[in-house]
Structure 1
């Protein structure tokens, strides 16, 4: 039976929202991962804390390949990812949710693919629609039912971190069409697509980005807003899980068919 994966970012680690939970670990070719497995409405849910227990792993050192490979091994066919972001778009206000549909990659030192030659062929991933439209639609419908402020569509600028961005960088990102800025969505989205998992990101806007905000940015500010949005986010995740048809087959599930499909 297919499972639904939830990747929690800053302030989201709360697997207790699921039932029958138990903690496990899994060894992958890329390293070990810890995860929590549970159920909700009869569906299997696998939760991975992106930054590890106690938020101990900075964004540029997250083992993205181990996380995605592990979720694939555990039978996950849908991933609901959560991220905390700054806004470059004045219509996207702190406290709002955004369903990203495009990204700009400004990371520098991350391995972005499973396909490095050798045991896997050289492959070129199509990212015309990197965030599963069908899954985004299900999340949007859930948010509207819960009367949450949500935007379906927006370009996520991914930076290397762990520092925040300069006002000059934010100005550039805005000119290039960026709507939100964060540090974790790339290469996670690419790896999920290579693994033929339907992937969508719920971004929580915690602040306006540097140069747009009238004050200096702090991690505490992010955590405080996350705390205010946490209950809404949990409700949104649960409502989405309830709506997802785990047997559905989307384009995302055969993304690498040209190369014989993704094999563990």
Structure 2
């Protein structure tokens, strides 16, 4: 297990759309890595967020250039683990399906359904000695979710502490009929990067949680088509809350990493 000079295990933060950089992060170095699965999306940024060491990775690169279906999720998670990360917070921009999950709402989902296809989605392939099946009943680590919810409530940030995340292929947005189907399936949110990221973290035995920001109503849930202008406005409005939740959860997430090791 890799620890910092202070003996603390770093917390990993994967930043999605709207979070290619992290305000308040005291950067101490950058690490360019390669993995058996290729190169991650960007350099790993090592730093301190308050008193907690962190490793930050921009999921789509910085600048934002890699579409959701072409992100090298295997390399990203592998690189974070090699950097000593045991606990990961994934920040995701999503569309809102549930009536309470409108633009700029913070959501900490507890379930997901995978509708993606063709993405490399496991480390357990190739010339294996045996087939490996992991339990994925609960895709998000309960302790990570509790830490994020507690941080939001302590800071008076309105958040939804439940939600089933529908992971779709992208990079296009969904049709109104597809959203009807997802809602019928029990989904509350829709995004393009939730899988296979979550299952890869589980295969690596990493603690993993999703901190989602709703950036638009899903297709057909508003009386107008979705525009980049409204998405950018929701990001501008809600990203400050996301950063507050991250800052407020670091101590608890750092302690969780220490327990896991």
Cα root mean square deviation, aligned: 1.4
Taking the aligned partners of 1:193 and 1:213, their CA distance within structure 2 comes to 35
Residue 119 of structure 1 and its aligned partner are, at CA, apart by 4.8
User: Which of 52, 57, 76 lines up with 2:61 in the alignment?
Assistant: 52
Unaligned runs of 5+ in 1: 254-264
1:247 correspondence with 2:258: yes
Taking the aligned partners of 2:29 and 2:187, their CA distance within structure 1 comes to 39
Taking the aligned partners of 1:241 and 1:58, their CA distance within structure 2 comes to 28
Which one is further off, 28-37 or 72-81?
28-37
Superimposed CA distance per residue, residues 220-245 of structure 1 (whole angstroms, 9 cap, x where no aligned partner): 32222111112221111111112321
Residue 117 of structure 1 and its aligned partner are, at CA, apart by 3.9
Superimposed CA distance per residue, residues 121-171 of structure 1 (whole angstroms, 9 cap, x where no aligned partner): 421121111100111001100000111111111100010000000000000
Secondary structure (helix, strand or coil) at the match of 2:166 reads strand
Aligned length: 250
What's the TM-score, normalizing by structure 2? 0.92
Please give the residue correspondences for 1:74-93 in structure 2 after superposition, counting only pairs within 5 Å: 74-93=83-102
From the two aligned structures, give the one with the greater strand fraction. 1
Taking the aligned partners of 1:69 and 1:193, their CA distance within structure 2 comes to 12
Taking the aligned partners of 1:55 and 1:30, their CA distance within structure 2 comes to 21
1:131/1:120 CA distance change after superposition, 3 Å: farther
Taking the aligned partners of 2:152 and 2:134, their CA distance within structure 1 comes to 30
Residue 15 of structure 1 and its aligned partner are, at CA, apart by 3.1
Which one is further off, 88-97 or 130-139?
88-97
Corresponding position of 1:256: none
Taking the aligned partners of 1:120 and 1:154, their CA distance within structure 2 comes to 37
What's the TM-score, normalizing by structure 1? 0.91
Corresponding position of 1:17: 24
The answer on whether the counterparts of 1:99 and 1:201 sit within 8 Å (CA) in structure 2 is: yes
Residue 42 of structure 1 and its aligned partner are, at CA, apart by 3.4
Corresponding position of 1:257: none
Taking the aligned partners of 1:24 and 1:197, their CA distance within structure 2 comes to 20
User: Which of 135, 141, 158 lines up with 1:126 in the alignment?
Assistant: 135
Task: State the 4+ residue runs in structure 1 displaced beyond 6 angstroms.
Answer: none
Secondary structure (helix, strand or coil) at the match of 1:199 reads strand
The answer on whether the counterparts of 2:27 and 2:45 sit within 8 Å (CA) in structure 1 is: no
1:209 correspondence with 2:218: yes
Corresponding position of 1:187: 196
Unaligned runs of 5+ in 2: 4-8
Secondary structure (helix, strand or coil) at the match of 2:77 reads helix
The answer on whether the counterparts of 1:37 and 1:46 sit within 8 Å (CA) in structure 2 is: yes
Secondary structure (helix, strand or coil) at the match of 1:111 reads coil
User: Which of 177, 184, 207 lines up with 1:198 in the alignment?
Assistant: 207
1:5 correspondence with 2:12: yes
1:10/1:101 CA distance change after superposition, 3 Å: same
Corresponding position of 2:109: 100
Taking the aligned partners of 1:155 and 1:136, their CA distance within structure 2 comes to 13
